[in-house]
Amino acid sequence: MAAVRVEAVLAAAEEEEAEKRRSITVEKELELEYDLGNLLAVDRNPPPAAALRGAGPRREALLRALARDNTQLLVSRLWELPAERAGGAGGPLVAQLPEPTFRLPREKPAPKPRPPTRWEQFARLKGIRRKKKTSLVWDEQAKEWRRRWGYKRAGGDPSRAWLAEVPAGADPEEDQFARLRREKRERVARNELNRLRNLARAHRAGSAVPAAPLHPTGHQDRDELRRVARVARVSTASLGRFQPRLPKEPAEPPSRSGGKKRRFQPLLGNLAAERSRQLELLRDMGSKKPVLDITRAVNKQLRAEEAEAAAANKGKKQSKRGKRGRRQQRPGRSGKKSGARRQPQQQKPAGGGTGG
Amino acid sequence: LICCYRKPKTKRAKRFLEKREPKLNENTKNAMLIKGGNANLTVTEVLKDIYAVKKPFAVLYKRKNITRPFEDQTSLEFFSKKSDCSLFLFGSHNKKRPNNLIIGRMFDYHVLDMIELGVEKFVALKDIKNSKCPEGTKPMLIFAGDMFDVNEEYRRLKSLLIDFFRGPTVPNIRLAGLEYVLHFTAVDGKIYMRSYKVLLKKSGCKIPRIELEEMGPSLDLVMRRTHLASDDLYKLSLKQPKGLKPKKKKNISHDALGTTYGRIHMQKQDLSKLQTRKMKGLKKRPAEKSAQDGGATPKKSKSA
């Protein structure tokens, strides 16, 4: 008796639940696709085309019913999201939306990281890092904390400086104020020039110009112009063989290998040139000065070593390691010097062999 | 390039430029609503209503601009650059194409997609007399009809409409504030756009029952010409930078049933020093202990 009652009670409860849920359940053939991050729902069911063809209020009612069903489904999904009460117990119920999944095109292309400037390259090579500077400096004269630069800076207003000392080795008649102003102008101009050069370098590197503008723009440097002139010369039907040269332009023979392989002079060519070349060679061999510039070679080697050390110690304690690394290189330095000195001595007997 | 040479001299100018430069997470797209040389009343009303829906992420130009977007896109691109808008809606009217709307979007200030739609029937905001939802409400978007998946042009149109009406991307949303829904139905070569105000009624359980009230602009559209971007340009525009991908946590995997598995790497354990449960029966008796020590009792070692 009791068991039957329990079953009846449970069945009744279930029916009540179903009754309640009936108001919010919607029957659909195909499930909708949801993108809750965009509050988007896509219904793939084909709408009743025949019913919607007739114009007028019937169509509106049908559309409205369809919209109501779809909106009910979307809102049910949104209500199932994890929600909390914002701003304490009495605040509104706020749901956390997931990330939008529907892929939409961007407005602008993704930003490219700009190439490092000349100073940044040098700093990376040497292992120099930025020193954090305080924004306020103690000004003794004003007896308060002032900014390092800008409005009301610590050193006092530079335009109202009434004293400019003549430095030790300078001309007593020179106008010091004018000199200070001129130097500031020069510094500003140099700064601006370097900034523009860095920009141009970044722009050139970024755009990877294989086809440089073949008309002169007035802002190109010598190497680029030379490159462009060469390209223009070679772009004729006969590959630049019959192009007239300017009076001072050097005559370049067309090198099929691009100047990579050794080219030997013809055997019985210019006798005078051959004689002068041989005499020069003998003169160089006989002189006491080494052909190889040792200091330059050593500096080049040191720079390469420093760059290697800096690159290897990236990520670790850079500044300390840099100093220690440089200190460790000292015993190696003298070794490199002796190695450099050995080279010209090696070349001499070889040169003597070919000359003799 | 002039923007690169000239450095901004004021903080305001710097902020202005920073807003427009390409970023990892982009700003909400702005739309510009432009009238053509011969825009009639219907088209003007449509533009005004769409402006009301899209405020504040839209710009409505008052004057008429004599251009033809399908022939020459430079004028549109110029406007886009000046006002930093990447979506546009251009309205015009002539005998061959009455009540014409061109909806489009830009990528890097160049036209990406453009679709021409004809307005067959239009019911304005002011024609329906009831209370409207507040300005700037994020609308819910619903697309009905299998045409939006089958046809390539309709698919692009769907993407365009989502882009247009989406609004800002928000992490949280107030559930009671879901008041506005835009419903697009594609049937019989026509697209019906209807806007409803959502009323949340009490139902027996937690999820409310929805009742809709026709509110805003409703349009009957028919697709005319299209100018879609080539596949590779479209793919390029879809490309997301690497920084946006969420960082994957290693050693964590998920099951199909929803269980999360983790992998913990332990160091080598000294099993002799492992503390297990104390069982009195296994305790070492003093006789066994002395046998292990090799006969040396602790007392003796202390005295020594």
Under an 8 A CB cutoff, do B145 and A95 touch? no
**CATH architecture of the domain covering B27-238:** 3-Layer(aba) Sandwich (3.40)
Under an 8 A CB cutoff, do A79 and B196 touch? no
- What per-residue confidence (pLDDT) applies to B285? 77
Residues 6+ apart with CB under 8 A from B120: B99, B190, B220, B221, B222
The string of pLDDT tens digits covering residues B145-164 is: 988 999 999 999 999 999 99
Answer whether A92's CB lies under 8 Å from A85's CB: yes
Pairs of residues, one from chain A and one from chain B, whose beta carbons lie less than 8 Å apart? 198
Residue of B15 and A23 predicted with greater confidence: B15
Residue A298 located in a structural domain: yes
CA distances from A137 to A7, A131, A161 (A): 84, 15, 19
Under an 8 A CB cutoff, do A39 and B86 touch? no
Angstrom distance (rounded) from CA B200 to CA B208: 6
- What per-residue confidence (pLDDT) applies to B34? 95
Whether the per-residue pLDDT at B11 is higher than 90: the answer is yes
Q: How many domains does chain A have?
A: 2
Residue of B170 and B242 predicted with greater confidence: B170
Angstrom distance (rounded) from CA B192 to CA B120: 10
- What per-residue confidence (pLDDT) applies to A349? 45
- What per-residue confidence (pLDDT) applies to A87? 76
- What per-residue confidence (pLDDT) applies to B261? 86
Instruction: State the amino acid at position B178 in one-letter form.
Output: L
- What per-residue confidence (pLDDT) applies to A214? 56
Instruction: State the amino acid at position A207 in one-letter form.
Output: S
- What per-residue confidence (pLDDT) applies to A39? 92
| A330-344, B22-36, B97-111, B265-279: segment of lowest average pLDDT | A330-344
| A272-281, B97-106, B200-209: segment of lowest average pLDDT | B200-209
B240 contacts chain A (CB < 8 A) = yes
Q: Which B positions 76-115 lie with beta carbon below 8 A of chain A?
A: 86, 105-109, 112
Residue of B217 and A326 predicted with greater confidence: B217
CA-based radius of gyration for chain A: 41
The alpha carbon of residue A218 is apart from the nearest alpha carbon of chain B, in Å, by 16
CA nearest to A195 within chain B: B5
The string of pLDDT tens digits covering residues A21-62 is: 777 788 888 888 999 999 999 999 888 887 777 777 888 899
Cβ-Cβ contacts under 8 Å, B175 against chain A: 78-79, 83, 92-95
Rounded mean pLDDT of B57-67? 93
Cβ-Cβ contacts under 8 Å, A72 against chain B: 209-210
Angstrom distance (rounded) from CA A244 to CA A232: 12
The alpha carbon of residue B217 is apart from the nearest alpha carbon of chain A, in Å, by 13
B212 contacts chain A (CB < 8 A) = yes
- What per-residue confidence (pLDDT) applies to A292? 79
B28 contacts chain A (CB < 8 A) = no
Residue A36 located in a structural domain: yes
- What per-residue confidence (pLDDT) applies to B267? 83
Residue A322 located in a structural domain: no
The alpha carbon of residue B99 is apart from the nearest alpha carbon of chain A, in Å, by 20
Angstrom distance (rounded) from CA A130 to CA A14: 71
> For chain A, which residues score pLDDT lower than 70?
1-3, 206-220, 253-259, 315-356
Query: Average per-residue pLDDT in chain B?
Result: 87
- What per-residue confidence (pLDDT) applies to A332? 44
Rounded mean pLDDT of B256-271? 83
B139 contacts chain A (CB < 8 A) = yes
The alpha carbon of residue A116 is apart from the nearest alpha carbon of chain B, in Å, by 16
- Which 3-state string (H, E, C) describes chain B? CHHHHCCCCCHHHHHHHHHHCCCCCCCCCCEEEEECCCCCHHHHHHHHHHHHHHCCCEEEEEEECCCCCCCCCHHHHHHHHHHCCCEEEEEECCCCCCCEEEEEEEECCEEEEEEEEEEEEEECCCCCCCCCCCCCCCCEEEEECCHHHHCHHHHHHHHHHHHHHCCCCCCEEEHHHCCEEEEEEEECCEEEEEEEEEEEECCCCCCCEEEEEECCCEEEEEEEEEECCCHHHHHHHHCCCHHHCCCCCCCEEECCCCCEEECCCCCCCCHHHCCCCCCHHHCCCHHHHHHHHCCCCHHHHHHC
Domain span including residue A290: 274-310
Q: Tokens at residue B153, please?
A: 């042009």
The percent of residues above 70 in pLDDT, for chain B, comes to: 93
Rounded mean pLDDT of B52-64? 92
CA nearest to A40 within chain B: B141
To which residue do tokens 């609308």 refer?
A: B139
Closest CA to A84 of A97, A76, A94: A94
Rounded mean pLDDT of B81-109? 93
- What per-residue confidence (pLDDT) applies to B55? 87
Closest CA to B84 of B35, B30, B27, B26: B30
- For A191, list phi and psi in degrees, rounded to 5: -60, -45
- What per-residue confidence (pLDDT) applies to B294? 59
Q: How many CB atoms lie within 10 A of CB B117?
A: 22
Cβ-Cβ contacts under 8 Å, B188 against chain A: 49, 52-53
- What per-residue confidence (pLDDT) applies to A348? 45
Under an 8 A CB cutoff, do A92 and B174 touch? yes
- What per-residue confidence (pLDDT) applies to B251? 78
Under an 8 A CB cutoff, do A39 and B141 touch? yes
B214 contacts chain A (CB < 8 A) = yes
Residues 6+ apart with CB under 8 A from A339: none
